[in-house]
Structure 1
Amino acid sequence: MPQTPFDLILKNATTLVPNPSGPGLIEAGIDVAIRDKRIAKIGADLKESANKILDLKGLHLLPGVIDSQVHFREPGLTHKEDLETGTRSAVLGGVTTIFEMPNTAPSTTTQEAFEDKLHRAQNRCHANYAFYMGAAAENASELKKLELLPHCSGVKIFMGSSTGNLLVDKDETLETILRSGHRRVIVHSEDEARMRERRHIATDSQDVHMHPVWRDAESALISTKRLIALARKTGRKVHVLHVSTGDEMDFLQEQKAQVAMDDITVEVLPQHLTLFAPDCYDRLKNYAQQNPPIREKRHMDRIWKALLDGTVDVIGSDHAPHTREEKDRPYPQSPSGMPGVQTLVPIMLNHVNNGRLSLTHFTQLVTENPRRIFGVKNKGRIEVGYDADFTVVDMKKQRTIENSWIASRCGWTPFDGMKVQGWPTHTIIAGEVIMENDTVILPHRGQGVDFETR
């Protein structure tokens, strides 16, 4: 009996697959065959028949990139972004899966609010999606139940105030939250008390250059030390978001050496690896304003060292768009945050081409590591049985990032005018080519992400 053709075979790419003889990834000349939305076979020069063959000669085939920190502003703030425009931006940037944050309006702190987001996402998202549950004093005892809702990527805590009203800054409440449930807790770590005391620095100066002076490195370090002490006391796994200081990296490296693998995990952002003060504030003014701030080059250099020595586990974008009108308000009335989901891949591929890190290491940080840390089912690696989600990149392609390319409703990027080498050419989700050469050709194919919750 003749064999049923595969749905699709991806041929002739340099493919990033798990290293068969140890940890990490390797580049190999391997074709990938897809059937029923899953990877059905991998091997060198597959000869089987297929309904479609996509020749990727000269390109690299990565597992689908996971951006585990985005803010898509729906519901309540959709003049900045919504799930459709945010996920369109994602797939244009080669991102196949996003985890979206809870500081919307209303905040995502109840089952009703969470299920409303899922309803809004259905048949509108271009990328696969999951949502964080927001932690607050009023839902602390319910989190052990809420974290198990389908398509929940974890529990998010804001220890420092940012966009929204989800601040949790009391140790007693933090400990209650950490004791309520067992899945990983994701944390924005800045010390609210110190920042309140120092708020006058921003208001008196009305100068965005003072943003990293107001929200200084000590504010971040104090908070992260409190967080790790409580995490170790309660035995809860924590993921420290957008670490922006060398001081924290020194501390986190030391702490990670004392605990089991993945008990403490660390995220950094492309902007903290690419931009630094005062240059970024000179050029971009309020458009460089985010929380925690972009800091002096010595902090950027230490973050790079932490990325290369294994202290850093994940790269996320912290995509957090605001309109030009909002960003043009006088500092500090201007909001903090910048778009990033569409530029994550090209910015980091440019660093790869500049010799800052290897392609295998970058891929590990945005596929395999998020898969393992968050317990993602069937995504994040190229292996038989996994979902057929892929990011295809041209490591030789040179482009200039421009505001006109940005699909986010905000319509701007801090990287406008930056020349890069390395570009996403195809985004493939569930075995279908969703994006090809800067065009979304199959819209609204995103599905909810499933997780291991035990």
Structure 2
Amino acid sequence: MSDADIGQQARARRHADLLMQGGTVLTPNGAERIDVACADGRVVALGDLQGTWSADTTLDATGLHVLPGVIDSQVHFREPGLTHKEDLETGTRGAVLGGVTSIFEMPNTHPLTLWETDLRAKLEAAQGRAWCDYAFFIGGSAVNAERLQALENLPGCAGVKVFMGSSFGDLLADDDNVLRRILRHGRRRMAVHAEDEARLRERRALVEASGDVRQHHHWRDVESALKATRRIVGMATETGRRLHLLHVTTAEEMAFLARHKRRVTVEVTPHHLTMHAPECCERLGSLAQMNPPVRERRHQDALWQAIREGVVDVIGSDHAPHTREEKARPYPQSPSGMTGVQTLLPLMLDHLHAGRLSLQRLVDLTSAGPARIFGIEGKGRIALGYDADLTLVDLAAQRTIRNDWIASRSGWTPYDGMPVIGWPIHTVIRGQVVVRDGQLMGLPQGKTIRFLEVPGETTVGG
């Protein structure tokens, strides 16, 4: 049945599966005080619906802002192979509790996600266990480079992810010839972790000698990031491939990328927007250790400036949990990464309250932007015929982030004890209320995200 048929039938009967009333809804027109009716997983009516529509379920959104469902396009849920840290159920449970309705999961699991069988295993593992909708990246590698055009178009594939550094085995792609082979085999936008592996190996002795986690951002310095970013953007220009640069951290990269927005989109993380070195490592030790590292305040200021100027397209969490026991190993044997999917929205709402960005800009960075960049079908906005993915937030709610709120199997957050203003209250996925007043409802009902067959060229930026 087509979107038009669904909408026509619902309007004819004036009965919805879900009727949300009284909220301030962020539509493509801006903030509007309207109601939303949802049927068969889609938005079927917008406007003043009081007294004219009935519903199986009603949701009172009075005093709340209704955002398009938040899409986190970079998470590491560790399944298969590393499920003592996280799995698809706990990771997606944290996602919906934090107001996230869709996730893209990364390929550095055991086994690596390199082939159709690996992707299919993850899709099967998510069925009946994922609380939110999902897609999985295929890793770009020397072993599968010539097959990537077919692999990236498989159902449930979010695209190709390349690790130029900070990975292992077949997933590490640090050779220029391999990178060019990967770039030439595919049409979808390719996601990249850009750190120069050779430079990182050369400089590792600095921290091996010191054993001081406060040196993490000196080891993985600006040049290690900028060198890799320049390399991959140059090769993408040669091959005509579109790129998505993940977790960009430096002022120098932002200045460079601002001149290459025709083909390159840019992600930043809440961690890099919220924490700065060396203070975070002095306070948190290796709990603040991640790759690329949290840097000095001048870089954080540059990331915020890039958001204001439209250089940044997406906020992704880079949720990458480890157990506290693993994090307690002596540095640099301690692993890099931290939880983030559940705190993405609370942190960004707190930044919104502080005046660092507008609500409409936040929606673009967390919903419309990911949908546009990756060619997601039916998500990213509140409009007729779109999936009824809704994140309802209280912009004035005062809460404190605590470890005992975190659903991740790892059980901790670097923001334990941090007060924030702004909080997710209800989470709706395809018209089903999965979180109500901060509590999980029902059973996991996540489904595979759909993508446009050939994502078109887009105008990127703010």
TM-score by length of 1: 0.96
Deviates most, 294-303 or 3-12? 3-12
Q: Following superposition of structure 1 onto structure 2, how do residues 176-325 of structure 1 map, counting pairs within 5 Å?
A: 176-256=181-261, 259=262, 263-325=263-325
Aligned equivalents of 1:111, 1:51: Cα separation in 2: 40
Contact 2:142–2:170 under 8 Å retained in 1: no
Q: Following superposition of structure 1 onto structure 2, how do residues 324-339 of structure 1 map, counting pairs within 5 Å?
A: 324-339=324-339
Aligned equivalents of 1:97, 1:31: Cα separation in 2: 23
Contact 1:70–1:99 under 8 Å retained in 2: yes
Contact 2:398–2:421 under 8 Å retained in 1: yes
Contact 2:161–2:190 under 8 Å retained in 1: yes
Contact 1:162–1:336 under 8 Å retained in 2: no
Q: What corresponds to 2:36 in structure 1?
A: 32
Q: What corresponds to 2:432 in structure 1?
A: 432
Deviation at residue 13 of structure 1 after TM alignment: 0.5
Deviation at residue 438 of structure 1 after TM alignment: 2.3
Kindly provide the CA deviation profile for residues 292-345 of structure 1, in whole angstroms up to 9, marking residues without a partner as x. Answer: 000000000001000111000000000000000000000000000000000000
Q: Percent identity?
A: 57
Give SS of 1:50's match. Answer: strand
Deviation at residue 55 of structure 1 after TM alignment: 1.4
1:16 aligns with 2:26: yes
Aligned equivalents of 2:360, 2:447: Cα separation in 1: 27
Give SS of 2:181's match. Answer: helix
In the superposition, relative to structure 1, how do residues 135 and 4 fare at CA in structure 2: closer, same or farther (>3 Å)? same
Q: Aligned-residue CA RMSD in angstroms? A: 1.2
Q: Following superposition of structure 1 onto structure 2, how do residues 4-403 of structure 1 map, counting pairs within 5 Å?
A: 4-19=14-29, 26-46=30-50, 47-162=52-167, 166-256=171-261, 259=262, 263-403=263-403
Aligned equivalents of 2:74, 2:246: Cα separation in 1: 8
Kindly provide the CA deviation profile for residues 106-149 of structure 1, in whole angstroms up to 9, marking residues without a partner as x. Answer: 10001111101011011110010000000110000010110011
Contact 2:315–2:366 under 8 Å retained in 1: yes
Deviation at residue 15 of structure 1 after TM alignment: 0.4
Give SS of 1:6's match. Answer: strand
Deviates most, 3-12 or 273-282? 3-12
Deviation at residue 44 of structure 1 after TM alignment: 3.1
Deviation at residue 36 of structure 1 after TM alignment: 1.0
Aligned equivalents of 1:404, 1:164: Cα separation in 2: 35
In the superposition, relative to structure 1, how do residues 84 and 164 fare at CA in structure 2: closer, same or farther (>3 Å)? farther
TM-score by length of 2: 0.94
Contact 2:143–2:170 under 8 Å retained in 1: no
Gaps of 5+ in 1: 20-25
Deviation at residue 453 of structure 1 after TM alignment: 2.6
Kindly provide the CA deviation profile for residues 179-231 of structure 1, in whole angstroms up to 9, marking residues without a partner as x. Answer: 00101100000001111110101111100011000000110000000010011
Contact 1:107–1:164 under 8 Å retained in 2: no
Contact 1:371–1:379 under 8 Å retained in 2: yes
Deviation at residue 349 of structure 1 after TM alignment: 0.1
Contact 1:143–1:180 under 8 Å retained in 2: yes
Counterpart of 1:62, as a letter, is L
Deviation at residue 51 of structure 1 after TM alignment: 2.4
In the superposition, relative to structure 1, how do residues 437 and 165 fare at CA in structure 2: closer, same or farther (>3 Å)? farther
In the superposition, relative to structure 1, how do residues 14 and 206 fare at CA in structure 2: closer, same or farther (>3 Å)? same
Deviation at residue 8 of structure 1 after TM alignment: 1.5
Contact 2:14–2:53 under 8 Å retained in 1: no
Counterpart of 1:413, as a letter, is T
Gaps of 5+ in 2: 1-10, 455-462
Contact 2:394–2:423 under 8 Å retained in 1: yes
Aligned equivalents of 1:163, 1:55: Cα separation in 2: 49
Contact 2:207–2:332 under 8 Å retained in 1: yes
1:409 aligns with 2:424: no
Deviation at residue 151 of structure 1 after TM alignment: 0.9
